[in-house]
Amino acid sequence: MEILSLKEMMAREEEAFRSGLTAAALMEAAGEAMAGRIAELYPRAARFLVLVGKGNNGGDGLVVARYLVKVGRQVRVALTAPEEELGELPQAMLGRLRGCGTNLEILPWREDLDFPGSEGVVIDSLLGVQARGALRGNLAGIVAKLNEARAAGFFRTVALDLPSGLAAYEQGAAPENRDACVVADVTLAVGFAKDVLVREALAGWVGRIEVMPWSRETASTGARQALLGHELARLLPRRNALSYKGDFGRLAIVAGSAGFGGAPVLCAQAAQAMGAGLLAVVTKPEVVSTVEVKAPPEAMVSGWAGGSEAPAVVRKANALVIGPGLGADKETARMLEAALAVGCPVVVDADGLNLLAQRLDLLRTAKGPVVVTPHVGEMARLIGRKFSMAEREAVARDFVEQHGVTLVLKGTRTLISAPGKAFFFNTTGNPGLSTGGSGDTLAGIVGALLAQRLAPLEAARLGVWLHGHAADLALAERGCEEGLTPTMLSGHLGHALVSLRGLAAAKPGLLERAWELTRQHEK
């Protein structure tokens, strides 16, 4: 789905209003969708606190509160402005909220307001896309209190449309202190992902992005797009009953060396969970016995004896992964050169990237498509210099156009692109991915998808999204990011696929739902 600026988002809304849709109907549709997603994200949350501003973002929060009360959640609503100062729509939504149930409390904001503990969720509906300028006065104090309470109390914070205060940084600056904006765990974007939400430098305030789609008819066009599940769901087709293991590809993983025997195992676990038909692990001779004991029993483990010619199991592969834990010596360089000469798609990761940084000319020798998966440090080595977060897109564009590869530039907002193609920003994942072996798991996922004949850009997009979504499912199950391991990620990939395919049928977007609500009201 395309990414819009705040100005472009407001233009879409104005266009809808000119067509006859009312702001009240759109607010109702957005609030209903956001409440439904919040209830799904936090099924065990015992307490919800909604912080309501006086503008339309506050109106969204009041609608969310009403729908949460309807499904039996315990909700407190804190009004941060006197009722008479609320806008027309928020006042109307407050009237509809009153009397909704006994599990509702509406109260004015006060300095000693009781925030929930770790079992609760705070919903930020203080400021929306129309707010401009830095936080000041009463709102600045409220945001500081919220962030402080979140850090101390471990509740989850959900921002509606964008974290309050973030609009001030749309033009490229970054906050100088934590309390310049609400720090959210999840931001529920209305209609489209906004440009300010996908900037890497702002990810610490935005958290994970969930988009409430504008319309089921929205086309995936534009030079910058957000990865959404319902648009990716059909990339990996259903399997035919008349099939055999060869239909799902031969993947060879060239990885591992003394002291790094775990990397090929993690990569293989992920590839197996992602459905590769035949799986081979080719490693340095000195660790064959170690890897053989730890690798999935379905994987065929062998050693690369040396020399400039790839072993038969590598030459016969439909896709390769090379680099995790492989070392960066001269022998590994020969292995990389031989792997690139096979002619099938190759994922180059970890030590493979470190070797490429020394021999970028090897990319010109590749006889098949290449996917490179660097983190920021590896990318800096590839281009020969450090770069700022603001340069990510420029660096990525220069690299893919110069070297003809598909790039997965890892980060909180992992960025994916290929020559002549759009930038794609990932929306899944959480801090639990910040652990050793997470990249090996991603390489195995992308390699397995390539082996199943997905095009490199599609394999990268789908693989990155599923990798993050598996982490989100694991977080929902465990309740904490700490200790989330790559093995757990692989164990959740099947659930991630099921979840993804559940999104395949496009549900009504906000526009369709708003028109439906309008028709119901007219009756």
Domains plus CATH for the chain? 6-232+506-522 (3.40.50.10260), 245-419+435-501 (3.40.1190.20)
Degrees to nearest 5, angle at CA 336 with 330 and 339: 145
Beta strands in 356-405 (DSSP E): 370-372
Q: What confidence category does residue 275 fall into, taking pLDDT thresholds of 50, 70 and 90?
A: very high
Separation of alpha carbons 514 and 215, rounded Å = 10
Q: What confidence category does residue 219 fall into, taking pLDDT thresholds of 50, 70 and 90?
A: low
- C-beta atoms surrounding 228 within 10 Å: 20
Q: Which two tokens stand for residue 154?
A: 């471990």
Mean pLDDT for all residues in the chain: 95
Q: What confidence category does residue 173 fall into, taking pLDDT thresholds of 50, 70 and 90?
A: confident
Instruction: Give the torsion sign (CA, 337, 338, 343, 346).
Output: negative
Q: Which of 519, 350, 347, 314 is nearest to 438 (CA)?
A: 350
Q: Work out the average pLDDT over 266-294.
A: 96
Helix (H) or strand (E) holding 376: helix 376-383
Separation of alpha carbons 170 and 74, rounded Å = 35
Q: What is residue 518's predicted lDDT score, i.e. its pLDDT?
A: 83
Q: What is residue 99's predicted lDDT score, i.e. its pLDDT?
A: 81
Q: Are 233 and 501 in contact (CB under 8 A)?
A: yes
Residue 31: pLDDT over 80: yes
Q: What confidence category does residue 506 fall into, taking pLDDT thresholds of 50, 70 and 90?
A: low
pTM comes to 0.95
**For the segment 316-341, what is each residue's pLDDT rounded down to a tens digit?**
999 999 999 999 999 999 999 999 99
Q: Which two tokens stand for residue 187?
A: 């931001």
List C-alpha distances in Å: 433 to 351, 353, 365, 436, 487.
Answer: 20, 20, 33, 8, 11
Q: Which two tokens stand for residue 461?
A: 């997009």
Residues 6+ apart with CB under 8 A from 493: 270, 273, 274, 445, 466, 470
Instruction: Provide the CA 446 distance to its chain's centre, in angstroms.
Output: 15
Q: What confidence category does residue 372 fall into, taking pLDDT thresholds of 50, 70 and 90?
A: very high
Helix axes 23-41, 88-97, angle to 10 degrees: 50
Q: Which of 515, 10, 497 is nearest to 233 (CA)?
A: 497
Instruction: Provide the CA 357 distance to its chain's centre, in angstroms.
Output: 27
Q: Are 111 and 45 in contact (CB under 8 A)?
A: no
Residues 6+ apart with CB under 8 A from 205: 163, 165, 166, 175, 181, 182, 183, 184
Q: What confidence category does residue 523 fall into, taking pLDDT thresholds of 50, 70 and 90?
A: low
List C-alpha distances in Å: 431 to 108, 206, 413.
Answer: 34, 13, 12
Residues 6+ apart with CB under 8 A from 106: 76, 77, 79, 94, 97, 98
Q: What is residue 221's predicted lDDT score, i.e. its pLDDT?
A: 78
Separation of alpha carbons 377 and 488, rounded Å = 25
Q: Which two tokens stand for residue 447?
A: 């390699």
Q: What is residue 410's predicted lDDT score, i.e. its pLDDT?
A: 98
End-to-end CA distance of the chain: 34
At which residue do the structure tokens 């015992």 appear? 46
Beta bridge partners of 157: 122
